[in-house]
Copies of this chain bind each other. A is one copy, B any other.
Amino acid sequence: MLADLRSEIESGTVPVGSRLPSESALAARYGVSRSVVREALRSCAALGLTETHTGKGTFVVSGRVSGDLVLGRYSARDLTEARPHIEIPAAGLAAVRRSEEDLATLRGIVADMALEDDPAAWVALDATFHCHIARTSGNKVFESVVTDLREALAHQSETLNLIADRQHASDLEHQKILAAIEAGSAELASAAMAEHLEAVGRALGSLGSSPPEG
């Protein structure tokens, strides 16, 4: 039943943020006792999929298993320092390995970002853009690491604010990255991503070695 519950969450059948049925209800649905349900929920919680609050219920907090990058606490410096080394080669590979479907998705994201006014929504799209490039690289290691990095970053509101501040500049840089990937040039794509991350890094520079906020 753990597998069933987990697949329901990971497949998105149960949307992120929603409340799961109560333990008793789940027990009745699956025909098991509450103990079994509780242990399954504990597993999901350990994997970072759910959180349960006394008296309120258990809530889906993520659609995917969090890597230890997220579980651990990373300083903004660590994240900023590591990103280029992974995202730049990922962009290069993406330019070589992209499919038409990938290109369509990336174009859609970039178009949406240009129209987005809400900073929080824009930052979310920004994360989607970078994650999809990593996925387009065809290397699952890059995909996992970038997704984890981005998720870890999502816990640092200070950093997110600074990212949102340069929305228009980033939009232009994203378009440049996309164009390079469309052109199929690993060199240009890497360079464009490097330029983008460098600019972001400068904007985040004021953070210095400040600790994460948890």
Contact = CB atoms under 8 A, between A and B. Distances in A.
Contact of A39 (B39, B74, B141): B39
Interface string A116-156: 00000000000000000000000111101100110000000
Tally of this chain's copies? 2
A-side interface mostly: helix
A112 interface: no
Interface in A74-101: 74-75, 77-79, 81-82, 85-86, 89, 93
Contacts of A43: 42-43, 45-46
B139 A81 contact: yes
A141 B79 CA distance: 7
B38 A140 contact: no
A71 interface: yes
B141 A74 contact: yes
A201 to B, nearest CB: 14
A141 B148 CA distance: 10
A69 B144 contact: yes
B74 A65 contact: no
A79 B82 CA distance: 17
B85 A140 contact: no
A144 B46 contact: no
A165 interface: no
A24 interface: no
A66 interface: yes
A82 B139 contact: yes
Given A66-B68, A68-B65, A68-B66, A82 B142 contact: yes
Contacts of A72: 140, 144
A139 B65 contact: no
Interface of A: 35, 38-40, 42-47, 65-69, 71-72, 74-75, 77-79, 81-82, 85-86, 89, 93, 139-142, 144-145, 148-149
